[in-house]
Amino acid sequence: MQQEGGRYIKKLIVIFWLFLVVFVLTACSNLSKNTISEVEIIQDDNSIHTFTKEGHSKELSILIKAANKVKNQRGEVDMPPSDYSLEFKIQNGETQIYSLWLDSDSAFLLENTTSDYVQLSSSYAENLIQIVTEHHANGITTFNVYFLVAGIPILILLLMLVDMFGTGTRKSRSDKA
């Protein structure tokens, strides 16, 4: 009876260690916010935007989650040239490059060195489209509602100042004549 209990314990220990090794290997192979220093989005060999931890935490999280969904799939992929390249720069100096195809209702992401890929859902596609189209090469948002909302009162104030000083100047000139 004691030998059966000993075998059972040994089997549990072996299973535990196998589980631990698989868990550590999969955790280490995934990208994380802690290991990524920046992600650069490239279109037609031109950098659109570089996302860093400091100013782009939300965007970085979305890009990392999308890259972590990439898995080894059966079959080969025959795709046209990608819409974008994503360069994940890891803190140890390595770079992982992914190709990204975007459509209005889906996204396809391919890891370039291993040819692992994933077809992402429409919600991921919407997030990725927003991230990609919202930024351009110098990092300034091309259109942001907040700028529009803040700009309207400034524009009104400027028009009021021009009207105040413009009409005051005109009156003083007409008084001289």
Same domain, 24 and 40: no
Same domain, 145 and 82: yes
pLDDT at 87: 92
- Choice between 170 and 116, residue whose per-residue pLDDT is larger: 116
pLDDT at 142: 42
Name, in order, each residue with C-beta under 8 angstroms of 143's C-beta and a sequence gap of 6 or more. 134
The domain that holds 61 is classified in CATH as: 2.60.40
Helix 57-68 × helix 122-134 angle, to 10°: 140
Same domain, 140 and 160: yes
The total number of structural domains that make up the chain: 2
Domain enclosing residue 49, as ranges: 34-167
Name, in order, each residue with C-beta under 8 angstroms of 114's C-beta and a sequence gap of 6 or more. 72
Same domain, 114 and 55: yes
Residues 107-136, mean pLDDT to the nearest whole number = 83
pLDDT at 27 over 50: no
Residue 177 lies in a domain: no
Task: Please spell the DSSP secondary structure of 123-145, one letter per residue.
Answer: HHHHHHHHHHHHB-TTS-BS--H
Coil, strand or helix at 105:
coil
**How many residues would you count in the chain?**
177
Same domain, 92 and 21: no
pLDDT at 143: 46
Exposed, middle or buried: residue 43 (CB in 10 Å: 0-12, 13-18, 19+)? middle
**Confidence band, pLDDT 50/70/90 cuts, at residue 168:** low
**Confidence band, pLDDT 50/70/90 cuts, at residue 167:** low
**Confidence band, pLDDT 50/70/90 cuts, at residue 141:** very low
pLDDT at 58 over 80: yes
**Confidence band, pLDDT 50/70/90 cuts, at residue 101:** very high
pLDDT at 24: 47
- Choice between 163 and 94, residue whose per-residue pLDDT is larger: 94
Same domain, 73 and 122: yes
pLDDT at 68 over 60: yes
